[in-house]
Structure 1
């Protein structure tokens, strides 16, 4: 999940966003599935997810070079109630469209060093577009460093007019199915500009997701068919972070998932299974990002707080 973003009602493209495919290579519907508390999603209090009717959708194969996936949530909380949701974000840049009691209608969330917090109250909806590493640099003129550790409203002037125009067009497409088709079309067209550096960054993240135990380094570079410096350069150019950092963030999402969903596992076992030298190293890593120790986090999940 990510921080804010909805706009007006027609389907026109505007502000030179770019060409649209005519859906010849893009499917008309996307797979939909609920986001479940047991999934690896970085939401530190996963018991809240059913309250948001959270669901996700897959991009078309033609769009998957730039788009990792879509998600949609809606909420209606009783007057006076709020939820303070903390998230260890996946190492990705996310674009979000929101309506209702939200900070802004269009938002870009960069790669965050630490867990970020969102206060949720009243009622609203959010539609998110999580980008692949190649995404942001091919959809607009931004670098990942420009939006690192930032969750910012997207306007016609800041941080990128091209991204703003794209989000306005997606918002005007109406429901989730229409938004997905439009974004899929645009991403498929933009994917033709992907170079080897962008594709290498995608392969590295895919490899790390497939094996959360794997650290960055020479072995990882060998598995993706590149040199260590090329891997470093690819991730810095697309995510603003190196492979060791990206590997650690993905691994910490798995730590959070196990702590929340497997009360039978002790923390020492979690550390060993995920390749940490010992429990102390896991505790240091987790506290540095989540702001609490693994033991304190598990207690808060059990207590529902």
Structure 2
């Protein structure tokens, strides 16, 4: 029997466009990292699919760096570092494939790659592991992707990360704590007020986030709003968008509609998963 005190990975669908459609076509699971890695890693995510017809998945990216190991049809297995995505991410799933990903906490990636600010990777994908990490363990690709047993894949991800780092960094810990606060406290609506409450100048806060998170605090506030609005659209056919806009801290419904449309590609009232 599982220990009731053991934390569990997230179970929400925030960021996933048409989550029901994705889950109907692919096996999507989340796992926690080893305890020593949890201050830095939010979760591992595993996807396997075997599809007779292609399917395009769409994700509104989180403020997280990901390391992704992939086996795709017609390609050699590969691994990449994906910085924080600024735009809607689309991935075509076809044939048979497997992906094993590491989703770092905002602020949690820098201790594994301390040579560069995290903003150096923002908006970039397909970064070879050797370009980002000082040393890459031999055999990591096969160890992660080959096992059919997913616990073996999780163990391989743990071994991969523990071989690389992390390098303790109090500034990374601070950035992670501040980003977590933004992600959980809907009362945080202005960067200037947040910085003042934390005893920092806006400029100091922005520099910290650039170096350790990869995007600014204002971007985080806005992205969390869109994630929440998207999840409401996924789960509630009768969303009161004016009320939701007020709850999320928008001046009016029009501002929410504009941000949602720009990020997701359709206005919220026209959004209908299929």
Please indicate the TM-score interval, normalised by the length of the shorter structure: 0.7 to 0.9
Paired residues of 1:66 and 1:187 also in contact (CA < 8 A): no
Give CA deviations for 1:109-158 in whole Å, capped at 9, x if unaligned: 211221111111111111110012333322234433332222215264xx
Query: SS at the partner of 2:17?
Result: coil
Change (3 A) 1:279 1:128: same
1:57-76, aligned counterparts within 5 Å? 57-76=31-50
Change (3 A) 1:109 1:213: farther
Query: SS at the partner of 2:47?
Result: strand
Paired residues of 2:29 and 2:45 also in contact (CA < 8 A): yes
**2:145 equivalent to 1:145:** no
Change (3 A) 1:170 1:68: farther
Change (3 A) 1:46 1:125: same
Query: Residue 195 of structure 2 corresponds to which residue in structure 1?
Result: 221
TM-score, normalised with respect to structure 1? 0.75
Query: Residue 69 of structure 2 corresponds to which residue in structure 1?
Result: 97
Task: Could you tell me which runs of 5 or more consecutive residues in structure 1 were left unpaired when the two chains were aligned.
Answer: 1-29
**2:237 equivalent to 1:263:** yes
Displacement after TM superposition at 1:236 (Å)? 0.6
Aligned residues: 262
Distance 2:42 2:36 in 1: 12
Question: Which residue of 55, 59, 63 maps to 1:83?
Answer: 55
Question: Which residue of 96, 100, 107 maps to 1:134?
Answer: 107
Distance 1:275 1:32 in 2: 29
Question: Which residue of 58, 76, 81 maps to 1:108?
Answer: 81
Change (3 A) 1:168 1:266: farther
Give CA deviations for 1:230-275 in whole Å, capped at 9, x if unaligned: 3222211023211011111122111110111111212212211211
Question: Which residue of 114, 139, 143 maps to 1:172?
Answer: 143
Paired residues of 1:132 and 1:202 also in contact (CA < 8 A): yes
Distance 2:238 2:138 in 1: 44
Paired residues of 1:70 and 1:128 also in contact (CA < 8 A): yes
Moved more, 286-295 or 254-263: 286-295
1:199-210, aligned counterparts within 5 Å? 199-210=173-184
Query: Residue 118 of structure 1 corresponds to which residue in structure 2?
Result: 91
Give CA deviations for 1:22-63 in whole Å, capped at 9, x if unaligned: xxxxxxxx9776x76xx2430111112322111101123321
Query: Residue 165 of structure 2 corresponds to which residue in structure 1?
Result: 190
User: Which aligned segments of 4 or more residues in structure 1 are displaced greater than 4 angstroms?
Assistant: 30-33, 222-227
Give CA deviations for 1:175-234 in whole Å, capped at 9, x if unaligned: 44334335445449833x332221111011211222245224244335656554432222
Paired residues of 2:13 and 2:19 also in contact (CA < 8 A): no
* Alignment RMSD (CA, Å): 2.8
